[in-house]
Amino acid sequence: MGLRFLVVEGNTRGARQAHREAYGLMPSESYAAVLQEIEGEAVCDLAFPADEGANLPDAAGLESYDGIVLTGSHLNIYDRTPDILRQIDLMRAIYASRTPCFGSCWGLQVAAVAADGDVQVNPLGREVGFSRRLTPTEAGRGHPLLAGRPAVYDAPAIHLDMVTVAPEGCTVLASNPVSPVQAAEIRMNGGVFWGVQYHPEFSLGELAVILRRRTEILVREGFCRTPEDAASYTDDLAALQDEPTRFDLAWKHGLDAEILDPERRTREIRNFIAQRVKPEKSARGRA
């Protein structure tokens, strides 16, 4: 029997539909496709806790999954609006269910806040395109989440907020000059969460689509001088998606196999499945 995942979409209805119109899939659908590419027989259900009245799993429902994955989001968790509070409550229920859980970007932030940590705007500004010079901590060098990652690596990313107060029970696994918490394990109420501030699930094609929709931000915040510069950058990413052997573009943007090779780019997700989901499924007697 294939693995059964719950993919928790962090976005509101409008944001996820806009992503589908631009990319063809909602973020949760795209994440599910990555899981199914790694595990061909995986079954993925989607949940939308940002929606008022959403049909969310109860405690027994959460326990029935082999793994739970949290996507990114356009929301800012410190706003504490009802669509955000529902997600924090769901994360606390996930901890209590003890079901293996992984999250990217917003997922890490929700997991930190649900465990009484804090998230605020990064005073250094937005991290866009790629998280550079990610470096495992001493704890991270021996942690299975980062198994196979080199001593320094890059990963797709786009975020303005970051974990500013790590909760009790948090072990920071990787950092970089922009954010001190780039990967972490968080333990709460018997549950264990693994997460990253970056996006190992993003292909270069999806990243290009996301950045095209943020051309104004790229120019306003000084990442690109003109809209044409921004278009040239995203066109290069899309070209690399189609032709990952384009050494000229990889050299131009300083990208190596940690990003260009899909298996290496998704390393943390693969490690989560191999080191947390499958062993726990076996321990629960579901093998």
- Structural element, H or E, at residue 93: helix 82-97
Per-residue tokens: 156: 């797709």
Nearest to 175 by CA among 202, 147, 141, 208: 141
Q: Max CA-CA distance within the chain?
A: 57
Catalytic residues: 105, 199, 201
User: What phi, psi does 113 have (nearest 5°)?
Assistant: -70, -40
User: What phi, psi does 131 have (nearest 5°)?
Assistant: -80, 120
| E strand spans, the chain | 4-8, 43-47, 67-70, 101-104, 118-121, 127-136, 153-159, 161-165, 170-175, 183-188, 191-196
Three-state DSSP state, 155: strand
Q: Which residues, including other chains, have CB under 8 Å from residue 255's CB and lie 6 or more apart?
A: 130, 154, 240, 249
Three-state DSSP state, 183: strand
